[in-house]
Amino acid sequence: MTGLLFLPVVLSLIVLGAHFLREGNLIMVAVALVIIGLVFVRRRWAAYTVQTALLLGAAEWVRTLVERVAARFEAGQPVLRLVLILGGVALVTALSTLVFRTARLKRWYEHS
């Protein structure tokens, strides 16, 4: 059951890594992979690091959203679908931090 709690966290980090890969930022792809590994390190510092990475990832999605909306406005293209998709991805990434507040994961990281 604990593994299922990690699912939104790991999926958010995979999507973030794919975003960095598409942008050609291989260093950040490697960072995303390392953070995925940290999910399974049963230490409090690891949990805090993963949560921080997720919040920074959500901020990256918002930055990307603003950048792409500006480009689409300039080109006279519609933006609603872009806002809904990237806004949703940013929201899911940020909300993934909440799984660390569950009793099960608090116990998981306390037994270190």
What separation in angstroms does the CA of 10 have from each of 66, 68, 100?
Answer: 25, 25, 13
In angstroms, rounded to a whole number, what is the distance separating the alpha carbons of residues 92 and 109?
A: 22
| 44-79 residue pLDDT tens | 999 999 999 999 999 999 999 999 999 999 999 999
| Phi, psi torsion values for 97, nearest 5 degrees | -65, -25
Whether the Cβ atoms of residue 109 and residue 6 lie closer than 8 Å to each other: no
Decide if 43 contacts 112 (C-beta within 8 A): yes
Q: What is the pLDDT of residues 96-108, one digit of tens each?
A: 999 999 999 999 8
